Every structure is written in structure tokens, then in C-alpha cells.
């Protein structure tokens, strides 16, 4: 059966236009795009604690406990929060590697054990990794401090 149109069996221009508009709308949905990179280059943190932050903290704490061969309860959470990293290195670039030059949502968790601080970074997937040489220090006051009851 032929599509209505010019008689050639092709869809009419109106149908093509509607399909194109639907496709563009589907691709452009979601949250608004970021407007710029923070001037200091440091990741920015939000002041609310999303529910998935607890899972990131738990995974980071478990990883560090395994590395140090200690009980996870012996590791304190110094700070934790959602951040926007300035590029695809997630604040932990490796020499010789190239990274996307775009803002990346993610997490930063700073843990402490026996006076030593350990910084874990993650992308939006929430999978933390130990960053032994963070490229940037957090801006003063930008970390989300956890209540004392949630640090252990």
C-alpha cells in the first residue's frame, strides 16, 4: 500500500517533518546543559546528599579497608559529596593519557585512617577508585561534611 504523498511511494513532507521534530525532541530532552567550567578548575559540590552517595561511601570504605587490611568501621568519612569534575580524568589524571574536555558529574569521598587521608573519586556511575595523586584540592568549604553519627 502506498503512503499518501506525491504518488511516488515516499512519505509526504509533513510526515518526514513530524518524524524529524520527534527525533530532535527525544535527543534534546533531559537536564539543561552546563554553562561553564568553574574558574578555579576545582570540582564543585552540591550541598544535598543524594541517596546513592551512601552506596559510593560504602564501596570506597570497603575498598580502603581491604587495601589496609582493617575493619571498615575503623575508617572515618572526612567528607563526601556529589561534584562536577572539570574533565574526564575525574580529578585524577594519569600522565600520558588524554581525557574528554567536558564537565562530568560524579562523587568525591575523603576517608581517614590513623591520621592519613585517602581520596576516592567516581563518575556518575558511582564506582569509586582511590586517587593517589589528586590534581586539584577541593575549594575551602565545598565538601559536604557528614554528621558525626554517619562517619563510622
pTM, rounded to two decimals: 0.60
Any idea where the domains of the chain sit in the sequence?
A: 44-147
With bands split at pLDDT 50, 70 and 90, how would you rate the model's confidence at 13? low
pLDDT of 126? 94
Percent of the chain with pLDDT over 70: 55
Does the pLDDT value for residue 23 go beyond 90?
A: no
Give the pLDDT score at 136.
Answer: 64
Pairwise CA distance, residues 76 & 44, whole Å? 22
Residue predicted with more confidence, 108 or 15:
108
The 10s digit of each residue's pLDDT in 28-38 is: 444 433 333 33
Amino acid at each position: 500500500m502506498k503512503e499518501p504523498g506525491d504518488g511516488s511511494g515516499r512519505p509526504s513532507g509533513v510526515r518526514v517533518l513530524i518524524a524529524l521534530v520527534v527525533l530532535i525532541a527525544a535527543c534534546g530532552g533531559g537536564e539543561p546543559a552546563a554553562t561553564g567550567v568553574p574558574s578555579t578548575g576545582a570540582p564543585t559540590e552540591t550541598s544535598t546528599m543524594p541517596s546513592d552517595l551512601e552506596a559510593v561511601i560504602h564501596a570506597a570504605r570497603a575498598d580502603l579497608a581491604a587495601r589496609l587490611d582493617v575493619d571498615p568501621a575503623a575508617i572515618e568519612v572526612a567528607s563526601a559529596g556529589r561534584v562536577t569534575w572539570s574533565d574526564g580524568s575525574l580529578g585524577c589524571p594519569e600522565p600520558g593519557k588524554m581525557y574528554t574536555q567536558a564537565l562530568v558529574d560524579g562523587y568525591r569521598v575523603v576517608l581517614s585512617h590513623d591520621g592519613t587521608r585517602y581520596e576516592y573519586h567516581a563518575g556518575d556511575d558511582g564506582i569509586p577508585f582511590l586517587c593517589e595523586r589528586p590534581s586539584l584540592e577541593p575549594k575551602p568549604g565545598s565538601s559536604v561534611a557528614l554528621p558525626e553519627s554517619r562517619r563510622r
